[in-house]
Structure 1
Amino acid sequence: MKALTELAKRRGFFFQSSEAYGGVSGFYTYGPQGATLKEHVEDTWRERFSVAEGHMEVDAPTVMPEPVFEASGHLDGFDDMLVECAGCGASHRADHLIEGATDVEEAESLPTEEVAALIDAHDIECPSCGAPLADQPVEEFNLMFETNIGPGTSQTGYLRPETAQGIFVEFPRLKEYARGQLPFGVTQIGKSYRNEISPRNALVRTREFTQAELELFVDPEGEGPDVASVADVELTLYPAANQPDGDYVETTVEAAVDDGVVEPWVAYYLGVAAEWYAEIGVDFERFRFRQHQAGERAHYASDCWDAEADVSAPGADPEWIEIAGYAYRGDYDLSKHDEHSGESFTVFKQYDEPKTVERASVDPDMSYLGPEYGGNAGAIADELDALAKRDRAAFDGESVTVTVDGEEYEIPVEKTGYAVEEETEAGRHMMPHVVEPSIGIDRTVYTVLAHAYEEDEVDEGERTVLRLDPSVAPTGVAVFPLMDKDGMGERARELARTLRSEGYAVTYDDSGNIGRRYRRQDEVGTPFCVTVDYESVEEDPETVTLRERDSTEQVRVPTDDLASVLADLRAGETTFDDL
């Protein structure tokens, strides 16, 4: 990490923000190289997860009012475990301290009491000052950034901790755009904010980050996905049941579904994701999909698989980081907003043919309930109505019992107005379930850099190289004159302009010797360099030297063919060996 972050800062990938004022932990600025790399990663995600899948994309605000997060559960359940040092006052993620000092891999899934006991048992000390943390309380700390919306007695708002809620709260309108036809998906790429206790590891744990999320709304009783397009995609799975023994499952998407290892919709998107990760240059020798333990899952998820990457240096102990989550959220989110907002978050499901159904209802005799039960009469009537819908058998006797505020009330059935009638209906309103691929763009960028980073030796000596895939490399091609004289500089600048007009991101460099210029481009991951030399300006037809970053091999290419050759190389339709 030290070598990579030094390179990132020196070559303009990313660096800590506001360094002129001492910097703020957990906030990073992307430099010219990094901003372009990040944009390319986002573009490839959008193409694969949104455009290719036929989904809609939205762009919601990053500040949302308090009721949204009351409904979603974030105000009550979006916490991390905090322990403060009595010596220096520093705050730390208690579960991270456990993972760093013990063999426990997922301390986040443990209750706070057990984490506190582990800190005591292992005599864990404060990383900042070395003071013992034993006997210090471990508390839940809510990660939400609070703000005010408007002046004076303003409305309380929060910076969103995930982009998902910006999609969920707009479901009543979005379902209209989809004409109520399930399944349909809505994507979004945008900023999220979490007030992390102890930001660390550069882009891996920050307080402001970019998410790319897809919320797929499905009929839980409908047909599952057609996995044919990804059936043979190979997956490395790490199921929860296998984690105590450290056993992976090497399988395919189709086999994972057939064997019941992964829920079908989640499995489909694991396959889509695996293809995308391969496209952007993730090393599959250092990659896995790990299933969440029961105590580790978010409050909204019934199942979740994390895409995890090992970003350690070659030969070092693995350092696994989560770069995405693939969750089956059920109807949690829509049902919560349906309950709290007063709007309908259901869709109307049309039957193939009208159905005759029996419908139970009550019409309580309020002239009896009112005098008998006073102020509780209305609540009793509501509970009778709910009971009739969920349990008809409760009304089979002479009386029925309901519970209101913990107290039981026995009501004569004849006073409830209970009845069962036949109705013909064309369909019904139902609550969709949600499948969510949620990608951390910053962590994905960091993984791509970590997996591309290499130190090797070539003829000219040692070099540092980023073996970035051409699809995400910030610069597509660099153009050099061998020397800026005898017309070579003018011809190289003209060639750079021509390639830019063809849509290539081009760097022009005439500073220093040619070997040093190659090294600069290798460090920022530029896949190809073009050199205009004496042959280029003296011979007819004109040719240039084309150098490949990974092998450092060079070939001569006719200048008139250069753009098409580069296009074929970038698209994988030809290889440098072919040239």
Structure 2
Amino acid sequence: MSGELVELAKRRGFFFQSSEAYGGVAGFYTYGPQGATLKQKIEDRWRERFSTKEGHTEISAPTVMPEPVFEASGHLEGFSDMLVECPECGESHRADHLIEDNTGIEEAEGLPIPEVEMLVEEHDLRCPSCDAALAGEEVEDFNLMFETSIGPGSGQPGYLRPETAQGIFVEFPRLKEYAREQLPFGVTQIGPAYRNEISPRHALLRTREFTQAELELFVDPETDEPDVSKVADVELTLYPADEQGEHDDPEEGYVRTTAGEAAGDLVESWVCYHLGLAKQWFERVGFDMERFRFRQHQAGERAHYAEDCWDAEAEVDGDWIEIAGFAYRGDYDLSKHGEHSEENFTVFKQYDEPKRVERATVDPDMSYLGPEFGGQAQEVADALERLAERDRSAFEGEEVTVSVDTDEGTSSSPQSSTEDGEGYTIPVEKTGFRVEEVTESGTHITPHVIEPSFGVDRVVYTVLAHAYDTDEVGGEERSVLRLDPEVAPTFVGVFPLMDKDGLGERARELTEELRETGFEVAYDDSGNIGRRYRRQDEVGTPFCVTVDYESLEEDPETVTLRERDSTDQVRVPTDELADTLAALRAGETDFDDL
């Protein structure tokens, strides 16, 4: 079916490969008039559900960010796929995809490279391009980020963002001020991200430029809990990590439960709350719930930042495709950016009542540190202060050693270097170390992060794939997209029975009236009425209105209203048409009721 859907998408203006005039580039797609509207409506529905209704705020950050951002986030070292290059034709392929496509092994992405190399040899896997043997070829990690240069000449190294999340994390010091440092609070973003995929494939399902819709929810892990009662009755199909690979039929490993029953037991509560919201949302935009599940990541496939992660997966063209991820990121991101920058990535948590606590401080003798350490004196003083906050026992001996490179220190004997960097040994009496009792009104905590992350392009493709159908009307086969009225690019088509005797003029007037009301309307007077219906069916238009001779003769004026899925027709007074269509779109009226 994928070939038929891709052909329909190209023919009817949903999506097509970009830059085709120059041969095209794999992994880049242009959305046509129908597809751009469908995508926008899906984004609007996501924004309404996960931002507006949840009380979160939205930002729009740059798509290019400097290299230090990705050093801190771990993407420079940990964001890669497994690449194997053909020795004959030189084509590069994802080794884990070759294994999944040619063996019974699922989720090969989580396997270590030595095991992947062994499987390539064991199954005699061959190059899909030229059929050359790949056994014995080295499998290596390939970083997926697009590198660029910021500024003229060599400039400053930068990267196109591989996820929208970092644009939220790096702005946390300012965003927390807008939230008045009150947890929990969430920040959303919808925008493009880029990954230099080794082997883009399956149209919109694996591309090099794609759109993400992400929520970063910042919570106090000790006190904040979601109101799971809002989604308690939502039915979930879960595929836990410990059930995967244990059954010949994956469905035997499914756990069918509700969000209320799974929260805190099978799934972390915040994550489970968002699984419930997502299940309702996916159903609303048109997913077939018989081909939908939530699969937990196995340990080996989790991203470097995730403590736990569940994927929303949909069956498309016989394969289960990841559509969204729901990760518990802990304090990884904020802690890393706090370590690598000079900003404060914590939130001040006010106590209910002030507390008397012991605090370790230092007041280094700079008249000693200056002559002893020269230009490093202030860095040594700062390192002593951090060490006192972290490990007061380090000051129990006669001397203390700190490393200004990593801020690590021990109470070891004098030495010129430590394992992690240049070490400086100072007599404790010169540090001014002391422990004093102070009154604190609160403390600084690093929030934990819950992240629902949606691949918008994959949502679009799945909506189309699940809506695509063929049937027979009037003895002829028709292709139809049974799109939900809320996301259909065109809501109503308006036709004159034929463009003469005033029918065309009245149909065009009616088109403008409906557009003024806010409906997406297509006017068509080309070809016979049956062909015009078929064209609208194929792009998913839920309803069509025909102005015929009865429309001009009757008083009050009526038109024919046709429903896409059943092809049934009813006469509707023109002065009631806009209200009737509005009720149909809102689900307040069913077509059968007319």
Alignment of 1:352-391 (within 5 A): 352-362=352-362, 388-391=388-391
Larger mean CA deviation between 451-460 and 370-379 belongs to 370-379
TM-aligned CA distance change 1:454 to 1:541, over 3 Å: same
Larger mean CA deviation between 232-241 and 90-99 belongs to 232-241
Using structure 2 for the length normalisation, give the TM-score. Answer: 0.91
TM-aligned CA distance change 1:574 to 1:405, over 3 Å: same
Name which of 256, 259, 276 aligns with 2:262: 256
Preserved contact between residue 383 and residue 402 of structure 1 (Cα < 8 Å): no
Preserved contact between residue 65 and residue 155 of structure 1 (Cα < 8 Å): yes
Alignment partner, residue 424 of structure 1: 439
* Whole-angstrom CA distance in 1 between matches of 2:158 and 2:242: 40
- Opposite residue 465 of structure 2, the aligned amino acid is A
Alignment of 1:73-472 (within 5 A): 73-245=74-246, 246=250, 247-258=253-264, 260-312=265-317, 318-362=318-362, 388-391=388-391, 402=411, 405-406=418-419, 418-472=433-487
User: Per-residue deviation at 1:420?
Assistant: 2.9
Name which of 458, 470, 473 aligns with 2:488: 473
Preserved contact between residue 308 and residue 321 of structure 1 (Cα < 8 Å): yes
- Opposite residue 315 of structure 2, the aligned amino acid is D
* Whole-angstrom CA distance in 2 between matches of 1:153 and 1:412: 46
1:198-228 deviation line (CA, Å, top 9, x unaligned): 0000000000001111111111122211122
Alignment partner, residue 482 of structure 1: 497
Larger mean CA deviation between 415-424 and 110-119 belongs to 415-424
- Opposite residue 251 of structure 1, the aligned amino acid is T
* Whole-angstrom CA distance in 2 between matches of 1:379 and 1:18: 54
Preserved contact between residue 479 and residue 529 of structure 1 (Cα < 8 Å): yes
User: Per-residue deviation at 1:175?
Assistant: 1.1
* Whole-angstrom CA distance in 1 between matches of 2:61 and 2:582: 36
* Whole-angstrom CA distance in 1 between matches of 2:261 and 2:197: 39
* Whole-angstrom CA distance in 2 between matches of 1:153 and 1:34: 39
1:161-203 deviation line (CA, Å, top 9, x unaligned): 1111111111111111111111111111111111110000000
* Whole-angstrom CA distance in 1 between matches of 2:488 and 2:34: 9
* Whole-angstrom CA distance in 2 between matches of 1:146 and 1:369: 43
* Whole-angstrom CA distance in 1 between matches of 2:384 and 2:520: 68
Preserved contact between residue 76 and residue 143 of structure 2 (Cα < 8 Å): yes
* Whole-angstrom CA distance in 1 between matches of 2:377 and 2:344: 27
* Whole-angstrom CA distance in 2 between matches of 1:101 and 1:552: 43
Preserved contact between residue 192 and residue 209 of structure 1 (Cα < 8 Å): yes
User: Per-residue deviation at 1:393?
Assistant: 5.8
User: Per-residue deviation at 1:36?
Assistant: 0.5
The alignment covers a number of residue pairs equal to 573
Larger mean CA deviation between 507-516 and 372-381 belongs to 372-381
TM-aligned CA distance change 1:344 to 1:276, over 3 Å: same
* Whole-angstrom CA distance in 1 between matches of 2:147 and 2:428: 51
User: Which runs of 5 or more structure 1 residues have no equivalent in the other structure?
Assistant: 313-317
* Whole-angstrom CA distance in 1 between matches of 2:38 and 2:254: 32
User: Per-residue deviation at 1:274?
Assistant: 1.1
SS state at 1:135 partner: coil
TM-aligned CA distance change 1:412 to 1:149, over 3 Å: closer
- Opposite residue 342 of structure 1, the aligned amino acid is E
Name which of 512, 515, 523 aligns with 1:508: 523
- Opposite residue 125 of structure 1, the aligned amino acid is R
- Opposite residue 274 of structure 1, the aligned amino acid is K
TM-aligned CA distance change 1:172 to 1:380, over 3 Å: closer
* Whole-angstrom CA distance in 1 between matches of 2:23 and 2:364: 69
- Opposite residue 496 of structure 1, the aligned amino acid is T
Alignment of 1:2-17 (within 5 A): 2-17=3-18
User: Per-residue deviation at 1:385?
Assistant: 5.5
SS state at 1:577 partner: helix
User: Per-residue deviation at 1:429?
Assistant: 1.4
Preserved contact between residue 283 and residue 451 of structure 1 (Cα < 8 Å): yes
* Whole-angstrom CA distance in 1 between matches of 2:176 and 2:206: 34
Alignment partner, residue 584 of structure 2: 569
Preserved contact between residue 396 and residue 411 of structure 2 (Cα < 8 Å): no
SS state at 1:405 partner: coil
Alignment partner, residue 62 of structure 2: 61
Preserved contact between residue 402 and residue 409 of structure 1 (Cα < 8 Å): no
TM-aligned CA distance change 1:365 to 1:478, over 3 Å: same
- Opposite residue 182 of structure 1, the aligned amino acid is L
TM-aligned CA distance change 1:518 to 1:85, over 3 Å: same
* Whole-angstrom CA distance in 2 between matches of 1:273 and 1:89: 42
User: Per-residue deviation at 1:436?
Assistant: 0.8
* Whole-angstrom CA distance in 2 between matches of 1:167 and 1:438: 13
Using structure 1 for the length normalisation, give the TM-score. Answer: 0.94
SS state at 2:321 partner: strand
Larger mean CA deviation between 461-470 and 246-255 belongs to 246-255
- Opposite residue 469 of structure 1, the aligned amino acid is D
- Opposite residue 99 of structure 2, the aligned amino acid is I
Name which of 539, 543, 550 aligns with 1:524: 539
* Whole-angstrom CA distance in 2 between matches of 1:328 and 1:186: 15
- Opposite residue 71 of structure 1, the aligned amino acid is A
1:77-136 deviation line (CA, Å, top 9, x unaligned): 111110000110000011100101111111111111111111011000000000000111
- Opposite residue 453 of structure 1, the aligned amino acid is Y
1:5-37 deviation line (CA, Å, top 9, x unaligned): 011011110000111111100000111100110
Preserved contact between residue 172 and residue 345 of structure 1 (Cα < 8 Å): yes
User: Per-residue deviation at 1:358?
Assistant: 1.7
1:260-315 deviation line (CA, Å, top 9, x unaligned): 11111111111111111111001110011111111111111111111111012xxx
* Whole-angstrom CA distance in 1 between matches of 2:170 and 2:388: 30
Preserved contact between residue 395 and residue 411 of structure 2 (Cα < 8 Å): no
- Opposite residue 494 of structure 1, the aligned amino acid is E
Alignment partner, residue 315 of structure 1: none
Preserved contact between residue 384 and residue 402 of structure 1 (Cα < 8 Å): no
Larger mean CA deviation between 556-565 and 370-379 belongs to 370-379
User: Per-residue deviation at 1:516?
Assistant: 1.0
Preserved contact between residue 394 and residue 411 of structure 2 (Cα < 8 Å): no
User: Per-residue deviation at 1:419?
Assistant: 3.6
Larger mean CA deviation between 3-12 and 246-255 belongs to 246-255
- Opposite residue 257 of structure 1, the aligned amino acid is A
Alignment partner, residue 404 of structure 2: none
SS state at 2:334 partner: helix
* Whole-angstrom CA distance in 2 between matches of 1:179 and 1:112: 46
